[in-house]
Structure 1
Amino acid sequence: MDHPAAPAVFGTDYPDRRPAAAVQAERAAVERQAGHLARLRADQPYRDNVLDTLQQRRARRGDLVSFERIPNGGFDVLVVAGVLVADRRHLDDERVQGLITELDLEPSPLSRLTGVVRLTPRGSDRLTGRAPEALAAIERHGAPVTFDHITPLGIVMKGKGGPNPTTGARPFPSGPLTGVPTPVAVIDTGISDEVRSDGWLAGIHSATNDDPLDAIPQPDNLLDLAAGHGTFAIGVVQQVDPAADLRMYRAMDSDGIGSESDVAQQIQAAVDDGARILSLSFGTQTLDDQGPPILRAALAQAIADAPDLLVVAAAGNCSDDRPVYPAAFSQEFPDNVVAVAALTAAGTPAPWSSHGPWVTCSTVGEGVVSTYVEGTESPIVQNPGDVFPPNAWAGWTGTSFAAPQIAGAVARRCREQPSLTPKQAFDQLIAAGNPVQYYGQAVTVLPGT
């Protein structure tokens, strides 16, 4: 089906300053990125190799999240090794008690999330490497228990190639921007400690949100597999609203791995610090297509604490309609969670994007240009790896870079019209979009490549 190009909600406010020849040259790299994403779901050998590599890189690092994988008829579901999750109300259920006894588990509370508990092995990690066995035990007892999911990003879900150097750097706006900025939190890999001389990302880095860039399994003068993901995502938000009150919260390591427990903690921290727009560029499918309970509890608590909160989440790069969480919580929390799918650079539905009735809106996700980090790419990502200088900019593809455009656009609307809540600003923003089945309201903000 032919679709008209999605309308630009801010007109010509974000012109592409690259010469046509540069765009054409960079488009070749974008086509490779998009083509690989479109094939990724069917490329089990590639995905197996990536996950094997990730597990090997963290095998001797007890400070990093250890994960296992469970086949799921497409993308494997990644789960924290040795940890299960239960609703606190079910702890006395004989099915759960039977599971706890069989697997020798003990309940472990989660800070402020009183409705859920983690079930961890007593005194050892005896479940590590045995996720299928744990799953079989859950099914055998019929216990209402699930896993602590990994919410991966980076190479896990974006495939080969990584970001590519670009000539599309934008000058930082020189004039003052009026209005009161709305606090926007980006939860990701953290942000580089580079002090850029081009005006972008100033004042966001802190000791607690540092993206180490080169740390796994140990420093080797190469960028880790998801290094710079957070720097890129928050740069997208700032391009759309350079006056935004931006905060970065690190929930994933520099290889792109973090648990839903880690994400939940950072959601709580961001809301406690006053954030009213959250930009989340990660996600996971689940075994039963139901929402992960820790993420559900974290969102419910955050919304109770801040009823006007808007959570803008990437729909995922799975090229199918299975729900990806936290984005698919748009169905449970429709006033507070929006799921953002991707469009091609031409403003039409991207076939590699996750999509479905749970998607709220879509915007360009191919060849998005943003701030990146200094360093040399690992040959695991691309061989030979690209070299990025200081003040680097890059082009990258994925719904990870569609979602922060919507977050930035909402922040801009709220700043320009202070009477609007983030949800009201979002509704106003997408009202002029084109409705596209399974891609929600299609709009464009920043240009793609």
Structure 2
Amino acid sequence: MAPQRFHEQFDQIQRSMPDVPLAMGPDDSAEFFYEKGVVLARDGEEARLVEDTVRTHFTQATGLTPDRVRRASPETNRTGVTRIQVGDPGHGDRSGDRAVAHALRALREHEGRAGRRLVSRNHVVSIAVNACPGDEPVPAPLTQGTNPAPAGTAYDADTAVGVLVIDTGLMHDYRSEPLLVHTEGDAQVQETDGQGVLRQYVGHGTFIAGLVAAVAPNTDISVKGTLNDAGAILESDFGHKLFEAVDAHGWPDIISLSAGTSNGRTDGLLGADAFMRELREQGTLLVAAAGNNASATPFWPAAYADQPEYAGSVLSVGALRGDGEFGACFSNHGPWVKAYAPGERLTSALTGFTAPVPYVYQHSTYDACRFGFTYACTCQYPRHTGLLSEGQESTGAKADQVMFEGYAHWSGTSFATPVAAGMVAAHMTAHKERDPRAARRQLLESNTQYAEVRGAHVPALRPSTWSPVPVLRLAPPA
């Protein structure tokens, strides 16, 4: 049976959050995860309105107990959002939560009168190769170097552009990569398991920092390990952690964020609302990944780029396939994605270079592209047998293991994002532009390169040092 990476990742993320029962939403074929038994509301009067309305709605007709509705967290979160318990989080299975669904339904009339959302699921926000995995890294020769290759700009501490990467942390030996000598930040937590094997998605933040530095060497890069815990965090904590990141490092010129979630809505994330409003008042530019669901459904925070009040402060980035001419099969798309950058089989530093380290693949590749594309995309090539794939134990097939010695090829909008962030930073250096939002506007206005994504011609940000990867055609499976 074909592997189902979304379901496989559900199990992985649930194991990383053993005390938080999770469900898929809005149904078993969904694009997001959320906390069972809990909804979010803004502090104060709105939280009280939600509690009272849900209690009234939970009558014998619904089979739900009004007494279970209570405040699950105090009103002390900087994001101004309260968790409200509406049901037994142990009830039901991964396919959904009836109490949460009824709580959302109970507030519809009030939301219509208020003209805005009053209640939300508590979604899981994750790095954009986690809940929506593009692929897993593949070893790359040390002699190959990064792709994009390092630009020729010299580092100058007085003019360097500040870039904050909010992701997983840095590998312990990351400074073995010369590109990262001006990079600071949090260490990656627990790089390997008890057998010395790299844990899943370890090195994600290091890989991203290497791409920023390659495209824009005149940068001071700080990496905040906000998503060190299996790359996932609850929406109720996400905004607070974003505030913590800028408190620790100061508001930078650019934030590179390769994480998010869809939520089935077009008005953003309740848990990130306070941070996004603060971001709008700062001079910082948020460059955010569009996600890897091959979907037109908005993925947040990237989709804020399509809201008029955030249009100048957010750049949403989709991924181009290896030749840079078309969208990658996995990339999210739609009018809310404002630019695309190379995002398939990029090369950067996954680990340092002090010792080889093994990795065991978690997901199997597919016989054909799971999104219906016909080129040799990352869904099907190079071939892997994964540890988590359905039927793997019954067939007795052993999961593939490889060795990393520094560099890796990796694909996803996670990696198109730092390429685009680097291009904005490089534009700032080249044009002595101190305003990253002005640089974003200037870069897009002067751009003459386009690619085709789902029949639309879209802005393509291709670094001059990036080398296209030949697109292969695979013979259909026998």
- Give the TM-score, by structure 1 length: 0.78
SS at match of 1:283: strand
SS of residue paired to 2:178? coil
Alignment match, 1:393: 407
2:179 is equivalent to residue 200 of structure 1 = yes
Q: Indicate the residue corresponding to 2:34 in structure 1.
A: 79
For CA contacts below 8 A with separation 6 or more, give which structure has more relative contact order: 1
SS in 1 for 2:131: helix
Q: Distance in 2 between matches of 1:190 and 1:373?
A: 11
Q: How does 1:25-104 map to 2 (within 5 A)?
A: 45-55=4-14, 57-58=15-16, 67-72=22-27, 74-88=29-43, 89-93=45-49, 95-99=50-54, 101-104=66-69
Alpha-carbon distance in 2 for matches of 1:72, 1:289:
18
Other-structure match for 1:27: none
Aligned to 2:61: none
Distance 1:393 1:54 in 2: 26
With 222-231 and 149-158 compared, the bigger mean Cα shift is at 149-158
Shift of the 329–163 alpha-carbon distance from structure 1 to 2, 3 Å rule, reads farther
Structure 2 CA distance, aligned partners of 1:291 and 1:72? 20
Please give the residue correspondences for 1:268-417 in structure 2 after superposition, counting only pairs within 5 Å: 268-272=243-247, 273-304=250-281, 306=282, 308-332=283-307, 333-350=310-327, 351-373=329-351, 375-381=357-363, 382=386, 383-389=399-405, 392-417=406-431
Q: Does the 8 Å CA contact 1:280/1:313 hold for their aligned counterparts?
A: yes
Q: Kindly indicate whether the alpha-carbon contact (under 8 Å) linking 2:265 and 2:298 is maintained by their aligned counterparts in 1.
A: no
For 1:261 and 1:222, the matched residues in 2 are separated by 32
Structure 1 position 413, deviation (Å): 1.8
Distance 1:110 1:231 in 2: 33
Alignment correspondent of 1:251: 226
Find 1:418's aligned residue among 432, 453, 458: 432
Name the CA distance, whole Å, in 1 between partners of 2:38 and 2:169.
25
C-alpha displacement of 1:140: 4.4
CA contact (8 A) 1:356 1:439 kept: no
Code of the aligned partner of 2:316 = A
Distance in 1 (CA, whole Å) between partners of 2:3 and 2:54 is: 32
Paired letter, 1:108? P
Gaps of 5+ in 2: 56-65, 109-117, 364-385, 387-398, 470-478
Match of 2:79 in 1: 113
- Aligned residue for 2:101? 136
Contact 1:342 1:353 in 2 (8 A): yes
Once the 2 structures are TM-superposed, how far is the Cα of residue 236 of structure 1 from its aligned partner?
0.7
SS in structure 1 of the partner of residue 125 of structure 2:
coil
Contact 2:433 2:439 in 1 (8 A): no
Q: Which residue of 2 aligns with 1:169?
A: 145
Q: Deviations over 1:190-209 (max 9, x none)?
A: 11121533423235344xx2
CA gap 1:110/1:438 in 2 versus in 1, 3 angstroms = farther
The aligned residue for residue 38 of structure 1 is none
- Cα separation, 1, equivalents of 2:12 and 2:246: 35
| CA drift at 1:159 | 4.5
Report the CA distance shift for 1:263/1:236 in structure 2 as closer, same or farther (over 3 A).
farther
What SS does the aligned partner of 1:443 have?
coil
Q: Is 1:210 matched up with 2:187?
A: yes
The residue that corresponds to 1:447 in the other structure is 467
Match of 2:103, SS? helix
Percentage of identical aligned residues: 24
Q: Point out where structure 1 has 5 or more consecutive residues left out of the alignment.
A: 1-41
Distance 2:104 2:3 in 1: 26
Cα distance change of structure 1 residues 291 and 110 upon mapping to structure 2, 3 Å threshold:
farther
- CA shift in 2, pair 1:260/1:183, >3 Å: farther
SS at match of 1:150: strand
For 1:90, give the aligned amino acid. Answer: E
Does the CA contact (< 8 Å) of 2:79 and 2:240 recur in 1?
no
Please give the alpha-carbon distance, in whole angstroms, between the structure 2 residues aligned to 1:417 and 1:227: 36
Query: What is the match of residue 30 of structure 1?
Result: none
- The 3 A distance-change label for structure 1 pair 198 and 225 is closer
Alpha-carbon offset, residue 85 of structure 1:
1.0
Over 3 Å counting, the alpha-carbon distance change for 1:83 and 1:214 in structure 2 is farther
Q: CA deviation at 1:295?
A: 1.6
The amino acid of 1:127's aligned partner reads P
Deviation for aligned residue 1:235: 1.0
TM-score by length of 2: 0.73
Q: 1:382-432 CA distances to partner (integer Å, 9 max, x unpaired)?
A: 53222112xx01111111110101111111222333344111111222222
Q: How big is the shift at 1:126?
A: 4.0
Deviation at 1:221, TM superposition (A): 1.5
Q: Give the aligned CA root-mean-square deviation in angstroms.
A: 3.0
- The residue type paired with residue 433 of structure 1 is T
- Structure 1 residues 59 and 268: CA distance shift in structure 2, 3 A: closer
**Cα pair distance change 1:279/1:174, threshold 3 Å:** closer
Amino acid corresponding to residue 16 of structure 2 in structure 1:
R
In the alignment, does 2:93 pair up with 1:127?
Answer: no
The whole-number CA distance in structure 2 between the counterparts of 1:149 and 1:407 is 26
Deviations 1:264-303 (A, max 9, x none): 2343234341312111111211133441111222111222
CA distance in 2, matches of 1:52, 1:129: 17
What secondary structure is seen at the aligned counterpart in 1 of 2:200? Answer: coil
Partner SS state of residue 284, structure 1: strand
Question: What is the total number of aligned residue pairs between the two structures?
Answer: 391
Provide the C-alpha distance between the structure 2 equivalents of 1:205 and 1:321, rounded to a whole number of angstroms.
35
Question: CA, structure 1 residues 288+72, in 2 after alignment: closer, same or farther (shift >3 Å)?
Answer: farther
